[in-house]
């Protein structure tokens, strides 16, 4: 089945095609969401939200990009929206705590992350790297995550982020430079 045929059947709300589509993209979407939120449970919830949005919005897909780019764009946007919402809730909770209106023990913790592909001996190193990636500016973090964790080529990252290829190259270069500085004493290898 070609991509155009797949999209056409999805637009016709064909249930078997949608199940096939979910089977094909589920792990990619889950890994993308996990790459941003670092929490398996939240990544699973976001993955469901991504597929719900695709089901509801596929009618508007115009073949201006590849279907995979469309899927990644939705996954990245859902993940970033989730992160922004968590940060707003945390800031509001901190404000309430300062004002004495709420017990700070009610504040949500920063989510822990567990990736099944990381071996025990690499968890400490990976944890340090993940924490430093989280400190990058949003666009650098998105480009870096899509390239290094998802393995997307620069051109597809440009399409997902809706920026130029040169912008992606620059974002990844700056992310690498920043991470090298921050992690110089932990790692002796290039990223």
Q: Are 25 and 74 in a shared domain?
A: yes
The vertex-108 CA angle with 104 and 111, nearest 5°, equals 140
Q: Are 54 and 130 in a shared domain?
A: no
Q: Are 138 and 60 in a shared domain?
A: no
Q: Are 150 and 98 in a shared domain?
A: no
CATH assignment at residue 85: 1.10.1740.10
pLDDT in tens, 108-162: 444 444 555 555 556 676 677 778 888 899 899 889 988 987 888 999 899 888 8
Q: For 58-153, where are the alpha helices, taking DSSP H only? A: 67-98, 120-133, 138-144
Domain termination residue (choose one: 79, 108, 137): 108
Phi/psi of residue 110, nearest 5 degrees: -65, 130
Residues 129, 135: Cα–Cα separation, whole Å: 10
CB 142 within 8 A of CB 161: yes
CATH assignment at residue 138: 1.10.10.10
**How would you class 107 by CB atoms within 10 Å of its CB: exposed for 0-12, middle for 13-18, buried for 19 or more?**
middle
102: pLDDT strictly greater than 60: no
Which among 29, 10, 127 is positioned nearest to 69, based on CA atoms? Answer: 29
Number of domains in the chain: 2
84, two tokens: 């922004």
Domain termination residue (choose one: 108, 125, 146): 108
pLDDT in tens, 40-88: 899 999 999 999 999 999 999 988 889 999 999 999 999 999 988 887 6
Domain range for residue 159? Answer: 117-191
Q: Are 84 and 15 in a shared domain?
A: yes
Q: Are 15 and 46 in a shared domain?
A: yes
Domain termination residue (choose one: 62, 88, 108): 108
């Amino acid at each position: 089945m070609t991509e155009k045929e797949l999209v056409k059947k999805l637009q016709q709300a064909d249930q078997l095609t949608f199940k096939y589509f979910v089977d094909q993209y589920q792990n990619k979407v889950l890994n993308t969401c996990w790459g941003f939120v670092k929490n398996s449970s939240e990544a699973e919830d976001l993955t469901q939200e991504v597929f719900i949005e695709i089901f509801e919005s596929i009618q508007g897909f115009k073949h201006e990009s590849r279907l995979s780019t469309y899927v990644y764009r939705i996954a990245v946007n859902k993940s970033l929206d989730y992160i922004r919402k968590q940060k707003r809730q945390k800031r509001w909770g901190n404000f309430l705590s300062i004002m004495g209106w709420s017990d700070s023990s009610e504040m949500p913790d920063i989510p822990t992350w567990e990736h099944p592909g990381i071996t025990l001996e690499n968890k400490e190193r990976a944890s340090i790297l993940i924490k430093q990636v989280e400190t990058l500016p949003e666009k650098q973090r998105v480009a870096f995550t899509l390239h290094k964790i998802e393995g997307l080529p620069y051109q597809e990252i440009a399409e997902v982020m809706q920026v130029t290829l040169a912008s992606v190259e620059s974002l990844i270069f700056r992310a690498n430079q920043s991470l090298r500085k921050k992690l110089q004493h932990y790692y002796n290898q290039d990223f």
